[in-house]
Amino acid sequence: MQLRDLIGGHPQVCGPELSLGEASRAMRAAGVGSLGVVRDGELVGIITERDILHAVAADADTGLATVSEWMSNPVHTFEADTSVDEAALHLLETDHRHMPVVVDGRLLSILSIRDVLAALVEPDRR
């Protein structure tokens, strides 16, 4: 099974100048734990729940602090033909929880550790 088999819907994205408060509300509304950060159509980072938690713990003003100040960058991306097993190993080795999936540099989706775990445990579910 490849990562392309886990993709459904469109990726949730934001711009780098969005405030952390706005980003957290966007994540909550979409029911996701991360947003791809896009500038001029190019993926420049990823902002996650964990990034926002770090900002709050550092007393950042979530109304003023921007995504670009706290996003993970550079972001490690995965090609859609990456195997689920390979992706799972990467997650274990790096402690990442979100995986931007791209084709020809274009963001297709951001998969979560939960997506990968579900594919490993219940491969026929998709």
Return the percent helix, strand and coil in the chain, to nearest 5: 40, 30, 35
Q: Which residue has the tokens 């001029």?
A: 40
Mean pLDDT of 6-12: 88
Q: Would you say residue 125 lies in a domain? A: no
Judge whether 126 lies within some domain: no
pLDDT digits (tens, 9 = 90+) for 52-101: 999 999 999 999 999 999 999 888 899 999 999 999 999 999 988 999 99
Count of the separate structural domains present in the chain: 1
Gap between the Cα atoms of 125 and 39, Å rounded: 35
pLDDT at 126: 55
Tell me if 32 is assigned to some domain: yes
The CATH number of the domain where 109 resides is what? 3.10.580.10
Q: What is the pLDDT of residue 125?
A: 59
The token duo for 126 is 């998709």
Alpha-carbon distance of 122 to 59, in angstroms, equals 41
Q: Which residues pair with 106 in a beta bridge?
A: 103
What's the half-sphere exposure (Cβ side, CA atoms, 13 Å) at 64? 3
3 strand-pairing partners: none
Range of the domain at 46: 3-120
